[in-house]
Structure 1
C-alpha cells in the first residue's frame, strides 16, 4: 500500500480528518476539517509522514539546495522539528507577532543573512500563515523559494505563494484523500460533491 492511501485511511480512522460542517480559523465554512496535530500521538504514522515529506523535498528540490528548515507555530513546527532531526538540518521558526520582551524577534533561532530556507507547514489553505513567514524571512534577507505542506486544501495557497515567488509542494491534497476514502467506501458520494463544490467557490 502506498503512503498516501495508508495515510488517508489512517486520518479517517484516527479522527484527524472529519467530514460535516465546520468553521475554519479564517471564518470560512468547510465540508471537512483536517487536524494533523493528532498525528504525533501515533508515532509510527508520524514517522512515516515525516519520511514521506523528506522524500518529497529530496525529489523536488534536493536536500542540498537549502540550509535551514523554517516553520510557523504550532502544528507546522512539530512537523518541521521532526524533519530537521531526520534531515540533519538546522531549524528556525517565525512567530505570528514579535514577542513583547527580550529581543522582540519575529524569527526564533540562529541564522545568518542570505541563508537558503525551506518553509514547512502542516496544511495549506489560503497560504496566509505561510505568506506571513515568507515576508518575515525576506525582510531578514533570507532566500526563500520553496514551501512544503502535508495536505493542500486546494484553496489558493499555491497561487498566493507564487505571487511572492515561492513554489508550493504537498504530499497529497484533499481531493486525493477524499477519492481514496470514497473508493474504500469510508465516505459517500455526497461528501465528495460537497468538497468539489467548496473548492469551486474558493
Structure 2
C-alpha cells in the first residue's frame, strides 16, 4: 500500500504517493513472494542477476536463491576504497546479466547501472522489477536497449486499490 504525502523521489520528481518498498523487502515472506513473482519473468539464458543499490539488492539475493543464479550487487558508483568495484560479487564480463530493481519511476538508476555494467563487458537487455510506476509514454529504458518486465505496474496497483474500496 502506498504512503500519501509529498515525497521527493531519486529522480528529483515530487510525488504524492510513495511505495515504501522496504516494508516488503524487510518482511521475509513478502520478499520471497515478490521474488517468486519475478522468477517466471527471467529468460532462460540469464547467467547472473544484478541487484541495483539499494532496493534491488535484497530482492536479487532472494531471487538468486530461488533460481540458483549468482548475484552481483551493483553500486551507484564505485567506492574509493576496498576493491573499488562497481559490481561486487563476481565477474560480469561476457555474461548475460539481468538487472533486478524494486521500483522503477523514471528508469534513471537502471539506465546508469546498465551502462556501467556494459562497460565491464556484461550483456544487459532486461530489468525485472517489483513495481513499474513509469507513465505509459516513458521511452528511456527502451531507448537504452533495456526491456522491463514487472510483477506489478502502477495500473495493477490502482485497480487493486479500487477493488478493495
Normalised to the residue count of structure 1, the TM-score between the two structures is: 0.75
Give the distance between the partners of 1:151 and 1:110, measured in 2 at CA. Answer: 27
Which of 107, 123, 126 is equivalent to 1:127? 107
1:71 aligns with 2:56: no
Normalised to the residue count of structure 2, the TM-score between the two structures is: 0.91
Q: Tell me if structure 2 keeps the 8 A contact 1:158–1:168.
A: no
Q: Comparing 97-106 with 112-121, which one deviates more in the overlay?
A: 97-106
1:18 aligns with 2:18: no
Q: Which runs of 5+ in 1 are unaligned?
A: 1-11, 186-202
Give the distance between the partners of 2:163 and 2:8, measured in 1 at CA. Answer: 27
Give the distance between the partners of 1:102 and 1:19, measured in 2 at CA. Answer: 40
Q: Which runs of 5+ in 2 are unaligned?
A: none
SS in 1 for 2:112: helix
1:31 aligns with 2:16: yes
1:144 aligns with 2:129: no
The structure in which a higher percent of residues are helix is: 1
Task: Report how far residue 157 of structure 1 moved.
Answer: 9.4
**How many residue pairs were aligned?**
165
Q: Tell me if structure 2 keeps the 8 A contact 1:125–1:157.
A: no
Give the distance between the partners of 2:132 and 2:38, measured in 1 at CA. Answer: 13
Q: Tell me if structure 1 keeps the 8 A contact 2:11–2:108.
A: no
Bigger Rg over Cα: 1
Give the distance between the partners of 1:18 and 1:109, measured in 2 at CA. Answer: 34
> Mapping of 1:34-45 within 5 angstroms?
34-45=19-30
